[in-house]
Amino acid sequence: MGVKGRRLVIWGALLALLAAAIGYALRPQPVPVDLAVAEVGLLRVSVDDEGEARVRDVYTLHAPVGGQLLRIDAEAGDPVEAGVTELAVIEPAAPAFLDVRSEAERRAAVEAARAARDLAASEGEGAEADLAFAAAELDRARRLVRRETIAQRTLDDAERANRVAKANLATAKAALDMRENELVQARSYLLSRLEIEQRSGDCECVRVTAPVSGLVLRVIRESEGVVASGTPLLEIGDPGDLEVVVDLLSEDAVRIEPGQPALITRWGGSDLAAVVRRIEPFGQTKVSALGIEEQRVDVVLDLTDPPTSWGRLGHGYRVDVGVILFQAEVLKLPLGALFREGDGWAVFLAEDGRARLRPVEIGERNSLAVEIRGGLSAGQRVVLYPSDRVHDGVALVER
């Protein structure tokens, strides 16, 4: 073979190898995918949100009268007994300071009261003189009547005058007492704060006792100071009688009924069982962290586990609440394996290394899994999170 023939053979072999390499590179490659297995297991569908544990009945102790509140020594967690444990003492409050004008008015009132007393005293002296004269006239008239010197009518007039004089004297004495008291009252407005403090021991203090037995939950007003009537002082309740409240979106609350089970999680211990007791009939508008207005409804739950299992849970503690809407052993798949196909749902079934489109009928679902009611059987493998490269008949390889 000549040189030309050998060149043809070499170049032909190289071209054949290149064509084979190109054909191998361009052959269809299996799509790497993640696979999930349809299996029978527990599927739980719930409405989840943050809640709060609270004492069922919280009693707020208010100041029954206004006055000077002494420092409250009770602390949160202290046990109290109804009608026995003294929680607060209220003394009469000292009056406000008088400015120059008010002090001048008070002093003028004292002088006016003193003058009125002196006037009443003078009127009393006049009434005593009138009574003495009327008594003398009555005595004279009685002597003359016995002698038949004057008529009986004259004696009757003398007796009437005597009685009128006695009544006038009694009126004058009462007026004098009233004016004396008015003077004392006017002088009391000028008492100094030192004199008031010295006399405060004679005043009766108001001692406030616990209305119910339990524990002090919170001391609202601890320091000494002047309080008005109705000022909240403490909160009292029984930490052994807890309930859980969670505010749900109104569209979630309408799916809940009293008696449905619930789970209390992420409170610092093992999961707790609860049951829905009440759905509040009134919704409230609240603003979410994203600034969106939402209609929220309070749902109240009772703990069904024994108190020993949640003994460290307290009033105002944060919990996570899941109200269970559905719970059963069903055939389920991860939610990421399903996609829309027409008006229904479908999956890619992995059979013999290839993807097979399979319509399925679904039931209940949560954020992770979905119930499969038809189209699959337990143990079959499906593509999880199929991409646009996966279609019916394409070769698959598991990652």
In the chain, which residue ranges form alpha helices assigned H by DSSP? Answer: 3-25, 100-146, 152-188, 193-199, 250-253
Query: Are the beta carbons of 207 and 86 closer than 8 angstroms?
Result: yes
261-265 and 272-287 as β-strands: parallel, antiparallel, unpaired? antiparallel
Residues above pLDDT 70, as percent of the chain: 93
Digit-coded pLDDT (tens) for 312-333: 898 999 999 999 999 999 999 9
Helix/strand/coil for 218: strand
* Under 8 Å between Cβ of 70 and 221: no
pLDDT of residue 1 exceeding 60, the answer is: no
- For 357, half-sphere exposure in the C-beta direction (CA atoms, 13 angstrom radius) is 11
Please tell me the distance from the alpha carbon of residue 353 to that of residue 119, in angstroms, as a whole number.
Answer: 123
Residue type, 284: Q
Average pLDDT over all residues of the chain: 87
**Residue 318 class from Cβ within 10 Å (0-12 exposed, 13-18 middle, 19+ buried)?**
exposed
Chain segment 97-142, per-residue pLDDT in tens: 777 888 788 888 888 988 988 888 888 888 888 888 888 888 888 8
For residues 323 and 47, the answer to whether their CB atoms sit within 8 Å is yes
Q: Report whether 303 contacts 274 (CB < 8 A).
A: yes
| Each residue's pLDDT tens digit, 191-230 | 776 766 666 655 678 889 998 899 999 999 999 988 999 9
